[in-house]
Structure 1
Amino acid sequence: MNSATALRFGVNYTPRRGWFHSWYDFDPAHAGDDLAQIAGLGLDHIRVFHLWPLLQPNRTMIRGSAVDQLVQLVDLAGEAGLDVLVDGVQGHLSSFDFYPEWTRSWHHRNVFTDAEAIEAQAELLRVLGSALAGRPNLIGLQLGNELNNMVEHNPVTAGEVDRYLDTLLAAARQGLSGGRPGLLATHSAFDAAWYDDDHPFTPEASARKGDVTTVHPWVFSSDCARRYGPRSPQVLHLAEYGVELAKAYAEDTGRAVWVQETGAPEPHIPAADAPHFARQTLLNASGCAGLWGVTWWSSHDVDRSLADYPELEYTLGLFDSSGSAKPIAHALAGTVADLRREPPAPQPRTTALALDCTASTRSVSGPGGGYFEAWMRLRTEGVRPAVVLAARADDASYLDARGITEVMGRPGSE
């Protein structure tokens, strides 16, 4: 495996046969085939997802056989030479929600605010962490995939989100406590946390809770690719921008940022443009200091025999649903090989652009927003701008710690 300081490159694992419904009749041979294909691209890790209803069908019942399946998948990945991050509470995957019945209908509980529902999730994370902690190829445990997708059916405030995340992160760490030092406890959110005004999951929560900051810079967020074009600087530098935006909200200037989901969904990124997009996304993101790594979405296309997915979900894989590597897979593998052969050595971004927004105006920092477009304009002019919150724009010790010598766009300046 890579050393602790090397950039990590991996993929979010979407089973080729049956998508995540494959957990209903888990087949180790099929999983092994998929993992061998992934390893064959030269990638070093995967992110995996079990389904919450299968793991915890009752609030006080966690199915040992389902946990054992997950452990077996982690072991299979290890045999293929792949490290693994496990997401615990799914939750939400590719436009589908997976709630256990004890959270719904007659038994509805708000998963973010109901004390017993929170404790049930915490116990699930403790059990998963304990079961997985001894695996040598485990990266860590993430609370779940883009938990903020669930606010649609579970109204919550930012303060309640903070308490929820703190409780579940503590449970994940407790579960992992018997493992080796350095196992990560993390959480993730889709782009609304960074771009949507008054969204209850905040940039501060993403950048300050958990052991690394995870970002999911999708080209369809705020209609980025359609707004600017699939080969535009705004699209090709989107992951890089996501990393720099995340660093601005962190209190720890040395905190790592993980580009945990990015991909080339059609028609936002036409298939002919996907290899170029993949290569440029990796190269541009790799120019960011403090990058943990990049994890592509996803390994395999959703098979078209499965109904009712948004069209883009059928085209996101590096491999098609027959298991054949697509041109984007070869482009990604080649770029990863190049970056391993000549590892990037990012220099401090000495120029920063001040971001002046509140929770109710954070859309200025998303595609179409004034700040986003100003940052991208500087980038196309050859500047490599950092992002600094306006409140820190005159903090000399903070700027020095980040290597910033010039701040543009301070409030009140011309």
Structure 2
Amino acid sequence: MQTDSETTAAASTAHWPAIFDVAVIGGGPSGAIAAEWLAARGRTVLLVDPGDRIKPCGGAIPCRTLEDFAITPDMLVARAHAARIIAPSGKAVEMRIGTAGYVGMVDRASFDPYLRDRAAAAGALRYTGRLEAITERAGEPLALTLSPSRKAAPGCGPAEVKARLVIGADGANSAVRRLMFSPADKPRYVFAYHEIIETPAVPDPTTFKADRCDVIYDGRISPDFYGWVFPHGGQVSVGCGSGIKGHDLRRATGALREAAGLDTARTIRREGAPLPLKPMGRWDNGRNVLLIGDAAGTVAPSSGEGIYYALQGGLLAAEAVDDCLRTGRTAALKTVRKRFMKAHGRVFLILGILQAVWYRSDRMREKFVTMCADPDVQRLTWESYLEKRITRRDPLAHLRVFLRDLKQLLTPAARQK
């Protein structure tokens, strides 16, 4: 749902600066938080977003997100205190968080406009539309050609604006990346699809719980990723992802709904989009453009988690852009990827290995779910997720997990109970 301030954003460009310090293309979590930070520090910021599309997203964020990025608690539509991992055989392992925290659930239909409103309140100007072209001339600011979207206010027309720097936060199919980077510069994708449905008034507790995220590892649902059933308060997100061409994601989602007892629930909306699963090797063009969020591929392998990483990438980008504007040193833009990967690269590497090893067949998925029953695995998994780093406490627990992991790899599936 679009907010009133978004649909009535100023259509006139008459009072805009002749040259913006920065144009942020894309008003999802990454772009909106970057625009807010820069505007709050006195930079002239243009935030461009079409406002007419909701990204397919499970909506999970660790509880620390609220404190780290000053997110108001009313943005949470649900709080999950457990995850149930389901194997191809139907075997299920419930992983409860305990007292360590919770997984917050947000609905992107309200969460993204909330972040864009925050940016506007900080002083960012907004244009409800799309980037069509960027013209670069030596010694001059970048010239951007914009066109209004169907959600633009009446009278909002095409616009030509100039900006010293551009932040591309416009998603996996980034126009900024396409216009300013080599065609070879793009992350690897899976395609994600989900359906937002009404939560039944009295759901069957054996198949669905309002405080639990279900994650389904089954080649019939996804041959290379996973399916999910995530609570959203009065709604539920049910979906799956796959990079395999020809895999019927809509049919798989129907199977998930039936298994969860949600097949007769009213469907509110359906959404699909590519989901990057590996950060790009370079996020800046060395001069005046920086990519962040899905445009740069900052979605965690294996889990597909992206909101927290998008928000943090947006703040890192804002700091680097401010430094570049202040000093004239374009090298500041390179620090964003370096700082992000220093903080999260180890997690991304481990999750990438996990996906490559355990997602490659149903036999391995079955072993993976068995491994998730281990108390050490559960504790370390939740600590790493909630703290957003690989915990270094209790090295003996890590050793035990490694040895059990190795045992699972070497034990034939037929011998496992």
Give the TM bin, normalised by the shorter chain: under 0.3
Greater relative contact order, per chain length (Cα 8 Å cut-off, separation 6+): 2
More helix by share: 1
Higher strand share: 2
Between Structure 1 and Structure 2, whose CA radius of gyration is higher? 2
